[in-house]
C-alpha cells in the first residue's frame, strides 16, 4: 500500500520489494566479506539497486537506431543499460551494421582525437573515450545505441576477424529476450594500443578490465 492509502500496482510492488530483497542480500554479503571497506560496500549496494530497478522496469524502451538490423529494446541491468533482442535472430545474421561516418566515427590519430575532445566538456570527453574501441590499430567510437553492447565471455555476437570495419554478427541463434553481447577481448589488446591513446584513457580515469 502506498503512503496515500491506495494499493500498489504489480510493478510498484516489484520495484519496492525487489529493491528491498536486493539490498538485503548485498548488505548481508558486505557484512560477511568486507565490512571494513565502505567503497566496495557502496558499490555493491548500487549494483543491487540497479538489478532491482531492471526487474521493475520490464521491457524498457524499444530501440530506434537504424544501424541495428533487428527489433531490439534497451533495458537497465547491473551494468547500466543493455541491448535485448525483440525477435529471434538466426546465426550468421548481421546484427549491428558498421558504416564509417554513419554508425561510427574514427579517431585514429592523436591530433584527430584531441580536436574532437576540444569541442566537448570533461564529462562528454570521458563518455566518448569510454565508448571507443581499437581494431587493427584503428580507434572507433560507435554512435547512437552502438555503445550499449555489453561484454561477455560467452557472447552471442562477434565482429569478423581481420576486418577492422566489421559489423557485429550473430555467432549462434539468438532468442527473443536475450541480451546482445560481445567478448571485448576480441578487440586489440591494451598492450597494442597507441601510447598516446593509453595515456589519454588513463588521464580520464578509464581503466578497462577486459584487455
Give all strands (DSSP E) within the chain, no chain letters. 61-62, 72-77, 80-85, 94-96, 104-106, 133-135, 138-142, 150-151, 157-158, 168-170, 181-182
Does some domain include residue 2? no
Decide if pLDDT at 68 tops 50.
yes
Q: Are 77 and 118 in contact (CB under 8 A)?
A: no
pLDDT tier at 150 (50, 70, 90 boundaries)? very high
DSSP string, 186-202: GS--GGGS-HHHHHHHH
C-alpha cell at 92: 550468421
Q: What is the predicted pLDDT for the residue at 194?
A: 93
DSSP letter for 211, please. Answer: -
**123: in domain:** yes
Angle at 203 between CA 197 and CA 209, to 5 degrees: 70
- Angstrom distance (rounded) from CA 11 to CA 16: 9
Q: By C-alpha distance, which of 192, 154, 186, 153 is closest to 168?
A: 186
The chain-wide mean pLDDT, for the chain, equals: 81
Asked if the structure places residue 102 within a domain, the reply is yes
Domain count, the chain: 2
Taking only the tens place, the pLDDT of each residue in 20-46 is 555 565 566 656 655 556 666 666 666
- Residue 141 located in a structural domain: yes
**Residue range(s) defining the domain that contains residue 51:** 15-58
Q: Where does the pLDDT of residue 61 fall: very low under 50, low under 70, confident under 90, or very high at 90 and above? A: confident
Best-predicted range by mean pLDDT (26-40, 109-123, 157-171): 109-123
- Residue 9, pLDDT > 60, answer no
Q: 59, 74 in Cβ contact below 8 A?
A: no
Say whether both 81 and 117 belong to one domain: yes
Are 95 and 45 in the same domain?
Answer: no
Residue 53 and residue 65 in one domain: no
* 196 lies in the same domain as 94: yes
Range ranked top by mean pLDDT from 46-60, 73-87, 140-154: 140-154
Q: Check pLDDT > 70 for residue 78.
A: yes
Position 49 scores a pLDDT of 59
**107 and 27 share a domain?**
no
Q: How far apart are CA 186 and CA 182, in angstroms?
A: 8
**Neighbour order of strands in the sheet with 157-158:** 94-96, 168-170, 157-158
* pLDDT average, residue stretch 159-166: 84
Q: φ, ψ for residue 55 (rounded to 5)?
A: -65, -40
31: in domain? yes
CATH code, domain carrying 112: 2.170.270.10
Instruction: Determine, yes or no, domain membership for 6.
Output: no
124 lies in some domain: yes
For residue 47, what pLDDT band results from cuts at 50, 70 and 90? low
Residue where a domain stops, chosen among 41, 58, 75: 58
Amino acid at each position: 500500500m502506498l503512503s496515500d492509502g491506495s494499493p500498489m500496482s504489480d510493478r510498484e510492488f516489484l520495484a519496492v520489494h525487489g529493491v528491498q530483497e536486493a539490498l538485503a542480500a548485498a548488505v548481508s554479503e558486505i557484512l560477511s566479506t568486507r565490512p571494513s571497506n565502505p567503497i566496495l560496500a557502496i558499490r555493491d549496494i548500487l549494483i543491487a539497486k540497479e538489478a532491482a530497478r531492471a526487474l521493475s522496469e520490464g521491457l524498457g524502451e524499444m530501440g530506434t537506431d537504424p544501424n541495428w538490423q533487428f527489433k531490439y529494446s534497451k533495458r537497465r541491468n547491473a551494468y547500466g543499460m543493455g541491448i535485448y533482442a525483440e525477435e529471434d535472430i538466426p546465426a550468421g545474421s548481421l546484427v549491428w551494421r558498421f558504416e564509417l561516418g554513419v554508425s561510427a566515427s574514427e579517431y585514429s590519430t592523436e591530433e584527430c582525437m584531441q580536436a574532437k575532445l576540444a569541442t566537448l566538456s570533461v564529462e562528454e570527453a570521458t563518455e566518448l573515450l569510454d565508448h571507443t574501441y581499437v581494431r587493427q590499430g584503428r580507434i572507433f567510437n560507435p554512435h547512437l545505441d552502438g555503445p550499449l553492447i555489453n561484454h561477455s565471455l560467452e557472447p552471442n555476437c562477434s565482429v569478423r576477424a581481420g576486418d577492422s570495419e566489421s559489423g557485429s554478427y550473430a555467432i549462434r541463434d539468438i532468442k527473443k529476450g536475450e541480451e546482445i553481447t560481445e567478448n571485448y577481448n576480441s578487440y586489440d589488446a591494451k598492450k597494442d594500443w597507441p601510447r598516446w591513446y593509453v595515456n589519454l584513457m588513463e588521464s580520464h580515469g578509464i581503466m578497462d578490465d577486459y584487455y
